[in-house]
Amino acid sequence: MTITYLKRGISDDVRADDDAKTAEIVAATLRDIETRGDTAVRELANKFDGFDRESYRLSEAEIEAIVAQVSPEDMADIKFAQDQVRAFAQVQRDSMLDVEVETMPGVILGHKNIPVQSVGCYVPGGKFPMVASAHMSVATASVAGVPRIIACTPPFNGVPNPAVIAAMHMGGAHEIYVLGGIQAVGAMAIGTETIDPVHLLVGPGNAFVAEAKRQLFGRVGIDLFAGPTETMVIADDTVDAEMCATDLLGQAEHGYNSPAVLLTNSRKLAEDTLREIDRLLEILPTADTASVSWRDYGEVILCDTYDEMLAVADDIASEHVQVMTDRDDWFLEHMTCYGALFLGPRTNVANGDKVIGTNHTLPTKKAGRYTGGLWVGKFLKTHSYQKVTTDEAAAQIGAYGSRLCMLEGFAGHAEQCNLRVRRYGGVNVPYAEAARLPSENA
């Protein structure tokens, strides 16, 4: 296998140091929120967002006034995007069926899909107002039937962003708070004097938000580890450098630490893309951000074969994978580790981010090895149940259960089974011994 790096990002050791520093800050902040509640949240909101209120929850009147600031065209666009997300989420929900089956005469087993009872949705918005994140979390939770949906977003330029608030409200949020960062996810998960804690946290965010979710996992559920945006372009000579460079920088502009990787088997395309990125950074309005991400986290990897490209892509397990080759469906069939695939030059990651209907909250930092992205199923819990409807089944299952419990040394467990064998099977099983039915002794 011959793999050549024409450009590398900063080392894994440097990234690990950054992660460790972030973890320390987050841990101290969460402890402060747990100890001082609303007071700590208010201080943090003032410190990081410059936003001070007695209550950070928006009233219905405030929501109505803020939403009224959104232009009719923008409202129509938001509705169109949310309709796409809802429609796909509903298809996914319809695929999740409750089941019940009689596995043997008198034994009924089943499962039910039950909505999580309260969800906290984080919608980023400090640097860019992430309107689409409201669709992906709030609207999807609504499709799942979650009875309490609360949403937090930071102020944008010192005030609640009207489009974000409109998307949250349209999506079905029951409570909306103008809070960002660690203080938002901490307040939703831990609870304060004025905010009841939720059962599940969802939504993307910066490194501090992602780390806060990681540390809070266990106290509450989380959707997945969704940190700073990552993108990978897998391309061959069927596309040109402009396409590759545009798709890389389009995601690098998210923040200063957004990895962007070109994976190709064409040296010419790789070298042309490097030059094209330099050209675009001269004219891109968000170049101040994108250029830092590209400098520190951008990579160009040259492989000899498509099989090598596949192996490298699965090892990196990028959040977004744009595939533009002469065999896009081959990658769809064979790739196993990623957040979402964007197949062919006619689509792109921005479509998925904003409008096409698939969810944009996706796994980062190699989490695509063990989980997919946020979807309606994340808001549902699958709970099993059982019932035994005949005396014969109670005795038969009980006898098997008794012997298997005694095999493991669990006499108390065995007695749960033995009691049913005695009552429903009419067999006098000695206390704390393995049960046998007369038919089994024959």
**What is the three-class DSSP state of 365?**
coil
Task: Supply angle C-alpha 362, 367, 371, rounded to 5.
Answer: 70
Query: Known catalytic residues?
Result: 319-320
- d(C-alpha 26, C-alpha 19), whole Å: 10
| 396 labelled binding-site residue | no
| 251 labelled binding-site residue | yes
Structure tokens at 324: 């533009």
| 413 labelled binding-site residue | yes
- d(C-alpha 64, C-alpha 195), whole Å: 21
Find tokens 């460790």 and name the residue. 20
**What is the three-class DSSP state of 374?**
coil
- d(C-alpha 330, C-alpha 5), whole Å: 24
| 183 labelled binding-site residue | yes
Contact assessment for residue 156 and residue 124, using Cβ atoms and an 8 Å cutoff: no
Measuring CA to CA, which residue among 410, 431, 413 is closest to residue 422? Answer: 431
Size of the chain, expressed as the number of residues it contains: 442
- d(C-alpha 181, C-alpha 217), whole Å: 16
| 84 labelled binding-site residue | no
| 320 labelled binding-site residue | yes
- d(C-alpha 168, C-alpha 67), whole Å: 10
| 169 labelled binding-site residue | no
| 254 labelled binding-site residue | yes
Work out the number of other CB atoms within 10 angstroms of the CB of residue 57.
Answer: 15
Binding residues for substrate: 229, 251, 254, 320, 353, 408, 413
Binding residues for Zn(2+): 251, 254, 353, 413
Binding residues for NAD(+): 122, 183, 206
Binding residues: 122, 183, 206, 229, 251, 254, 320, 353, 408, 413
